[in-house]
Amino acid sequence: MLQILDHVPSGLLDCASSELADLLGGPTLLHVPGERPEPLHVSVLLHGNETTGWEAVRGLLQGFVNQPLPRAMSVLIGNVEAAQYGQRVLPGQQDYNRVWDGGDSAEHRMAQQVLAEMAPRSPIASIDVHNTSGPNPHYACVNCLDEEHVALARQFSRMLIYLLAPNGLHSMAFSKLCPAVTVECGVPGQSEGVAHAQAYLLQCLTEDLPIPTASVVDDVEIYCTKARVSIPSGMYFSFQDTEAECRIHPELIEHNFQQLPEGTKFGVWGHPDSRLEVEGENGQDLYDVYFENRGHDLVVRRPFFLSMLTLREDIVVQDCLCYLLEPMNQGAESLVSD
């Protein structure tokens, strides 16, 4: 399933995300040589509708058509089939960012092939570029809080999310090989997201890595993912329809990355004994920790920072409604090694 190339095919840099499937035929790992041989690993389009990563990579490579990169770069161009249709994932496919922990599907095997191909090349760092489906500030996610991971993430944003779930994340697998981050560049299609990602990739290709850590790790805000919120399968939910069994207030989209205080109205139930699925990192049910039902109103019980809420009902069904975050203590003293 995985194609491995050691050259940039002609015409590739002219392709928009939706045109890559015709040229590449499937997920492709592209080794681009550079002056320093240990590569930076970059992955883009693990979600086919999240186009910023590809736009940043092709913009960067266009600037080096006539000169070598300062460092080799191995680019995984992921779900080009879904990208052709502007979809995160196609029906029948596994989510390309949930398959990095081993398994038997074609997508799981593709992930294992990428890891086997990259490990002997000793990548200096791994950067997985994504977009959020709702408006969020740009931030970086890490699965490990050692200084190298935090320093790599801080180069992108001072806002960091530390997460250990869901399973099968690209960055989680790569964090065993090298410092690895996921960067979230706002919604797709925004030029500032592309420019930010491109500048970050170029900086990582140019600078000495690992980045000196002392100067940067004091200056971060680290949030911890406490729970993932989804709609129970089969429950009719809507952001607008007052007849829905579960109606989530769409104005919450304005509060991504803000703290929702106790008592905030989050939604309205058709039946007052309904519940959302609020799953903690170890799979525990945290509904009663963060939410309560007051009659037909769904309200916040314990304050949290809202993250990645989307109004795309199809994404809510495919993935989840949002994540709940809490801040960790700020500064280097809060860093824990794992």
Interacting residues with Zn ion (CB under 5 A): 47, 50, 130
Query: Which residue's CB is nearer to Zn ion, number 131 or number 293?
Result: 131
- Name every residue whose Cβ is closer than 8 Å to that of residue 86 and which is 6 or more positions away in sequence: 18, 48, 49
Shortest distance in whole angstroms from residue 79 CB to Zn ion:
10
CB of residue 58 vs Zn ion: minimum separation in angstroms? Answer: 18
CB closer to Zn ion out of 31 and 47: 47
- CB nearer Zn ion, residue 128 or residue 148: 128
CA angle 310–312–316, rounded 5-degree value: 75
Is the CB of 98 or the CB of 226 nearer to Zn ion?
A: 98
Closest distance of CB 33 from Zn ion, Å: 28
From the CB of 48, what's the least distance to Zn ion, in Å? 9
Q: Count Cβ atoms within 10 A of the Cβ of residue 294 and give its class: 0-12 exposed, 13-18 middle, 19 or more buried.
A: exposed
Peptide bond into 212 cis (omega under 30): no
Q: How far apart are CB 130 and Zn ion at their closest, in Å?
A: 3
CB within 8 Å of 169: residues ≥ 6 apart:
97, 98, 100, 143, 163, 182
Q: How far is the CB of 124 from Zn ion (least distance, A)?
A: 23
User: Using CA atoms, how far apart are residues 193 and 199, in angstroms rounded to an integer?
Assistant: 10
Which of 119, 105, 127, 111 lies closest to 78 in space, CA to CA? 111
Give 41 or 130: the residue with its C-beta nearer to Zn ion.
Answer: 130
Handedness of CA 233, 235, 236, 240 (dihedral sign): negative
Measured from the CB atom, the residue of 5 and 165 that comes closer to Zn ion is 165
Strand partners, 31: 74
User: CA 148 → CA 51, 128, 215, 277, 315, distances in Å?
Assistant: 27, 16, 12, 34, 33
Q: Which amino acid is at 17?
A: S
For Zn ion, give the closer residue by CB, 130 or 226: 130
Minimum separation from the CB atom of position 47 to Zn ion (A): 4
Residue 72 dihedral angles phi and psi, to the nearest 5° = -60, 150
